[in-house]
Each structure stands twice: as structure tokens, then as C-alpha cells.
A and B are shown apart, each in its own frame.
Chain A
Amino acid sequence: MLIIGENIHIISPTVKTAVKDRDAKTIQKMARLQVEHGADMLDLNIGPQKRRGVEVMDWIVDAVQEVTDVPLSLDTTNVAAIETGLKKVKRQAMINSTSADPDRLNTGMPLAAEYNAKIIALTMGKSGIPTSAEGRVEMAMEVLIPKAMELGIPMADLYLDPLVLTVNGTQEHGPETLNAVRFFKQLTDPPPMTVVGLSNVSNSVPHENRSLINRTYLVMLLAAGLDSAIADPLDEKLHEFIRIVEERDTSTGLGNLLVTFYDKTAAMEELEPSDVDMSDPEQVGVWKTAQILYNKVIYAHAYLRM
């Protein structure tokens, strides 16, 4: 499981100010902290940066590589900025991202081939994100994978991203995104890689509920074959869930539940009340969150209390 640290993101006011002031110290501190907390790669989201993209990417890649040698994910829609970053990186980088929209596909994908980079390919076209798993898979199969093959990009470097959307408002996407990951892994041999922007699943959810929704969904995604996630490495509870399912640690009640949850999801089954110790609040939290993510119970901010 590859964790791509998401915290250097232009939407964060701290990052925005640091980028504007070229305050390398702040960015470097964030980079180090994420790596110390288990980030395998760092996402550098500089926003679209239409005018200053090249300049900003040039600066931020240097700043981050001064303090860490984990690979970098270059996150912007500015193609020139990505190319600048690709020229500077010391290790194989990731392009974040391209999509099935021809304008982005025909500029992003050739860069990955030219610079031997990994690339995230979103199953999204000009007209938006398909609602169903099938729609996403079709886009991967008919547009993204053929293009990568044509350019000689190995499947091990192609990261298909089915686009995770929030349970608060687009709940019906939850099971579809999960199944898309499952189907992506069956499309080719060797299979393509898969990635999600995990935290999106809890966008516009009150802060105290976000981590539980993120880590519960991650267990399901891992069971469906997810290889990597752009996520918050500082979330210790997220690491704990990953550790439990990776080590199959059933020494606790929660561990038992999560391993069952993982196995059942892998077998395309769902948790049942008999799998859960309803006297354990942590297990009940996972159970209720699973009902939300299965799209069986309508999400409301107070869903854990019900």
C-alpha cells in the first residue's frame, strides 16, 4: 500500500501563503513531517498556476528534495510546470494527473512516456464522471489503457483513478467507485495500478467524522485491489487500519472485524450484524460507516448517533 502524502495542497492557507512567499522552510517542514509519518511519496499540489506554474514547480521541487528523497507526485493541470518538475526530480516521479478528456490525455500521457514517469489517469471525460462502475471501466478500457499502451507506458506505471466522491451528497458513487477499482485490476495482465484521492470520500463532512469514514472506506478499497491512496499520513488511525488488514491482526475485536470486513469485501460480500460486537463502540462505528458506504443507509452528519 503506497501512501501519497496529500498535505502540501494549495487549498491549505498555510501552503498557499508559503508558495506565494516562496517560504521553503514551511513546505520543507510539512514534507519531513509527512515522511516521518509514513508517506511513501509526496504530492505537490500547486493548483492550476496558469502563469507562474513553471517557476513555482521549479522552486517547490528543489525545496522538497533538499529535505527528503521520497518520490514526488507533481499535481497541477499546467503541463509546462509538470515538465519542469520532471526534469528536476531525482527519483521516478508521478504525474497527477491526466484524464480521458483528449486535451489532457494528449498532453499529459506523452510526458509520462518521455520522462519515464508514473501517471495518474482519471476516469473522467469532458462531460464529467460516469455514475456507474461500468462507465468508469469503459473509459479506462477504451481510452486510458490503449493510450498508455500506444505510448509504451508499462501497466505498472499507469495508476487508474476512479474518482472518489463524498458520501455527503453523492453517496451512490461509493459502491460504484469501489467496484471500479475491482474491475480495473482485471482489465489487463499484468494489471494496471490503482489510486484514489481517499479524503474526498468525506468532503463536507464534519471534521470529527472524517477519519473514520476515510479509513473504513480504505479497508474496502484495499480489499478490492487498491494499490495506493493520496491521503493524510498524519492520520495515525488510518495507519492502524492498514496495519491490521495487512498483517491480518485478529488479536483484538476490532482487528477481527476489520479482517472479516476485508475478506468479505474481497469476496464481493457485505458485513452482517452477526460479524459485529455491538457492545464495542469502535466496531459499531465501523459497522455504521460501512452501511453509509454501501449506500444502504442515507448519510446524515449525525449518522453515528442513530
Chain B
Amino acid sequence: MPVTVQLPKEKWTGTVREVTLGAAAAEGGTRKKIVTVGGESTLPFLTFEGEIPNRPMVALEVQDRYPDDWSDLLKDVWGDTMQDAAAWAQKAEEYGADLIVLKLQSAHPEGDNTDAAQAAETTKAVLAATGLPLIVYGPGQAEKDNEVLVASAEAAEGERIALGNCEDKNYRTIVAAAMAHGHLVVAKTPIDVNLAKQLNILISDMRLDLDRILMDPTTGSLGYGLEYTYSVMERLRIAALTGDSMTQQPMICTVGEEAWRAKESKVNEGVPEAWGDWDQRSINWEVLTATTLIEAGADIVVLRHPESVKLVTKAISDLMAA
């Protein structure tokens, strides 16, 4: 006798906010491509019980100084392009990135300690070199981040870029800069659902619209805490879908930075032979971290290797089509 199986469907009550990066000429910007993320009313790729209006996006990271500390594999693949942020960004666009992440690493006080004027100039040069939307990070040192991100925000007036990172103790200046110049912010918290929600509340208390906030839950790469990030993201996404308004932000994961820090991808000396081919292993490390977090609800993954972009983009297309 034939048996009818009723497909179990969850009735979600909440929706992730849609967040748009980049502004075209009509909106006062110069972007050729506009990227919208979020909007999900279901768990990743479960379109039989909700909508996924926007696919996850892939960003490539560029820096404004030659990244001496990066893996030789990355140096080989990018070559001299990495000497110039604008040329690097242009190349990243050619490699199929949806977004450019610019890290103003040269501003680090213990490095070149470049100033606000330099940050503004680099931001303009990168915006001129690519038509993609931009996310800008400071060097990761609170005072200096404030200085260069304010300059970047001003230089990118009208372009609807995202400024990162806003953290618990250091978000006011960056949020104010985003409000003054019509940009977005990235709110970063250390693998903690409670703090993630609290920071969204604090930022929205400053009256920045919630459709201008991306959440960064802090990425642990494959083998180095990936499962913690995974479960925190899953928890935040379920909260968003069950109607918790202060968790309904799209999520961004800095996959490349973490995956290329792992010994398995960074070096090939003194590692067991059983680990196999270095090139393949490193790219797998980045791709697996990215695709795993996309399964946990990542809306933007930031990568470093062009081959990873190709593979992750393919995985996303397949998952969206399935």
C-alpha cells in the first residue's frame, strides 16, 4: 500500500534584515554592482519552508601594504599585484569576487603607522579601481581604527560602504562616522550570542538603522574552533527566524584570515607527509571553513585565494539551485 509522507515544515515568524552594500550613480555612488544580503525567512537553503531572496556573497580581501606574513602560496598566486591595493582590488574583481574587503593594515601603529590622509587616498583609489561594493577594516587597534575609518568614511561619501569593526568597547566613533556619511558597520563580538545581541542593541541605540548593520560572530577556522562559530551562528539565525529582532542581522565571516593562519594551510615544512599536497590542502582549508559557515547562515564570506572564490561560488550556486 502506498504511504503518503507529509514533508515536515517549520513555520518561522521572523526574517533576517536585508542589507544593501554599495550605491550606484542614481543613489549618489559610483558602484557598478550593488550587493544585497540577508532577507532569509528560513534556515540555509531550506526553500521549501521559506524564502532565500539573496544568495550568500563572496568577498576577497586586499590590504594596503604588502602582506609579508601571508602564506607563500598566496604570495605566489597574487604576485606583484599585492604591492598596490587598487591593482589588487581590480584583480580580485576579475577573479569573481562579489565584494572587496580593504584592510588598512599599513595604519598599524607598530607597522608603518600611516595616517588618515593615506587611508582616504587608498579608499578612493580602490573605489576607482573596482565597481564592486567595499568593506573597509582598520588595522585592528582601537584608536587607530577610529582615525582611519573616519577618514575612509568621509572619502567614500555616498558609496554605502561598510566600516569594521565595531566592538563592545569601541563602536561609537565608527557608528557615528557611518551615520554621518551614509555607510554601514560591521559589529564584531567574540563567539558569544549574548554579546552579539547586546552590541546590536547598543548600536541601534545610537539610531543607526538596523538595515545598516552586519554581524561578525568571530570566525574559528576548520580545526581551530570552527564548531563554536558554527553553533553560535546557528543559534543567532534560529533566534532571528523566531522573531528576536535584535539578532536579525546578516552575518559576515572573515574566513580567509583565519583559515590561512592554520598551520595546515600556512606552511609546508615539518608537516606530516600524510597531510598531502600543500596547495590542495590549503585551498580545501579555506573552502571547507567557508562552506561550513555558509551552512550555518553566513551571508558574506571573506576569502583570500582566487581558487577558493571559484569553488565557494560554485558550491553556493549548486546549493541555491538544489
Residues of A within 8 A of B (CB): 168-169, 171, 296-302, 305-306
Contacts and interface: CB of A to CB of B under 8 A. Distances in A.
B90 to A, nearest CB: 41
Given A305-B201, A306-B201, A300 B194 contact: yes
A297 B198 contact: no
Contact of B201 (A168, A169, A296, A300): A300
B108 interface: no
Nearest to B195: A300
B257 interface: no
Nearest to B235: A298
Contacts of A302: 198, 201-202
A300 B246 contact: yes
Nearest to B192: A169
B210 to A, nearest CB: 13
Interface string B182-225: 00000000001111011001100000000000000000000000
Nearest to A301: B198
Contacts of B242: 296
B244 interface: yes
A297 B242 CA distance: 9
A306 B247 contact: no
Interface string B25-50: 00000000000000000000000000
Top 6 nearest A-B pairs (CB, nearest first) are A300-B198, A300-B197, A302-B201, A298-B239, A298-B197, A299-B194
Nearest to B198: A300
B245 interface: yes
A201 to B, nearest CB: 14
Interface SS of chain B: helix
Interface in B268-316: none
Interface residues of B, number: 16
Contact of B194 (A296, A298, A305): A298
Q: Most B CB atoms within 10 A — which of A169, A299, A300?
A: A300
29 contacts: A168-B194, A169-B192, A169-B194, A171-B193, A171-B194, A296-B242, A297-B239, A297-B244, A298-B193, A298-B197, A298-B235, A298-B236, A298-B247, A299-B194, A299-B197, A300-B194, A300-B195, A300-B197, A300-B198, A300-B246, A301-B194, A301-B198, A302-B198, A302-B201, A302-B202, A305-B201, A306-B201, A306-B245, A306-B246
B140 to A, nearest CB: 24
Contacts of A168: 194
A302 B193 CA distance: 13
B76 to A, nearest CB: 43
Interface in B239-254: 239, 242, 244-247
Nearest to B240: A298
Nearest to B236: A298
B165 to A, nearest CB: 19
Contacts of A301: 194, 198
A167 to B, nearest CB: 8
Contacts of A299: 194, 197
Given A168-B194, A297-B244, A298-B235, 16 more contacts: A169-B194, A171-B193, A296-B242, A297-B239, A298-B194, A298-B197, A298-B236, A298-B239, A300-B194, A300-B195, A300-B197, A300-B198, A301-B198, A302-B201, A302-B202, A305-B201
Contacts of B198: 300-302
Nearest to A205: B194
Contacts of B244: 297-298
Contacts of B246: 300, 306
A189 to B, nearest CB: 39
A302 B242 CA distance: 19
A169 B194 CA distance: 7
A279 to B, nearest CB: 21
A302 B194 CA distance: 10
B25 to A, nearest CB: 39
A59 to B, nearest CB: 41
B106 to A, nearest CB: 36
A298 B195 CA distance: 10
B213 to A, nearest CB: 14
Contacts of B192: 169
B192 to A, nearest CB: 7
Contacts of B239: 297-298
B225 to A, nearest CB: 16
A272 to B, nearest CB: 15
Contacts of A169: 192, 194
Nearest to A172: B235
Contacts of A305: 201
Contacts of A300: 194-195, 197-198, 201, 246
Nearest to A305: B201
A299 B197 CA distance: 8
A249 B318 CA distance: 61
Nearest to A296: B242
Nearest to B239: A298
